[in-house]
Amino acid sequence: MTYSDTYLRQILTESKTIAAVGVSTNPIRPSYFVARYLNLKKYRVLPVNPVYVGQQLFGEAFTPAMAALPQDLKVHMVDIFRRPDQVMPVVVDAIELLLPRGLKTIWMQIGVINEEAAALARAAGLNVVMDRCPKIEHQRLFGELRKGGFNTGIISSKL
């Protein structure tokens, strides 16, 4: 799977509100890292996880499922922190509930690949990214990984 920098940059620029499905409140879990980073970068992160209902993450209340997200809210991206075999129902839900409310992208985290769910999302006109982390891609594309000595692949004479 390869995604062009332009494609990823566009997704990360257009998405303002992100439903984080399966995100944890445990501060050393990768999902928490991602949510915390996206929150620091001014994305609105809506935590979805039945385990933590009643709790909040960065000022947003957990909902048990996407169906419980406030109806008037636009959601541009669903970021999936679930095992590959549990992705399909999330994508089905996302298309049904969020497509009319601004959904543009289904994003599956590193190690999460589900071709069948990806095909369904693409057929619904959605962008699909699999086996990538939006935090790492954001850091790579918007300059932050430059600070750590990582190969960003970006060659430019522009500021």
Partner 1 sequence: MTEFGFDTLQIHAGARPDPATGARQTPIYQTTAYVFRDADHAAALFNLQEVGYIYSRLTNPTIAVLQERVATLEGGAGAVCCSSGHAAQIMALFPLMTPGDNVVVSTRLYGGSITQFSHTIKRFGWSAAFVDFDDIDAVKAAADENTKAIFCESISNPGGYLTDIPAVAAVADELGIPLIVDNTLASPYLCKPIEMGATLVVHSLTKYLTGNGTVTGGVVVDSGNFDWSASDKFPSLSQPEPAYHGLKFHETFGNLAFTFHGIAIGLRDLGMTLNPQAAHYTLMGIETLSLRMQRHVENAEKVAAWLEADPRVDYVTYAGLPSSPYAARKAALYPKGAGALFTFAVKGGYEACVKLVDSVEIFSHVANLGDTRSLIIHSASTTHRQLTLEQQEAAGAGPSVVRLSIGIENVDDLIRDLDQALATATA
Binding site for partner 1 (CB under 8 A): 2, 4-5, 27-28, 30, 33, 36-37, 40, 110, 133, 136, 139, 143-159
CA pair distance 74, 127, nearest whole angstrom: 16
Q: Give the nearer residue to partner 1 in terms of CB position, either 7 or 67.
A: 7
Q: Give the nearer residue to partner 1 in terms of CB position, either 97 or 108.
A: 108
What are the distances in angstroms from CA 11 to CA 15, 49, 99, 149?
A: 6, 24, 15, 25
Q: Give the nearer residue to partner 1 in terms of CB position, either 85 or 147.
A: 147
CA pair distance 14, 95, nearest whole angstrom: 18
Encoded amino acid at 119, one letter: A
Give residue for tokens 């935590």: 47
* C-beta separation of 107 from 78 below 8 A: yes
The least distance separating partner 1 from the CB of residue 41, rounded to whole angstroms, comes to 9
The least distance separating partner 1 from the CB of residue 155, rounded to whole angstroms, comes to 5
The least distance separating partner 1 from the CB of residue 80, rounded to whole angstroms, comes to 16
Q: Give the nearer residue to partner 1 in terms of CB position, either 10 or 152.
A: 152
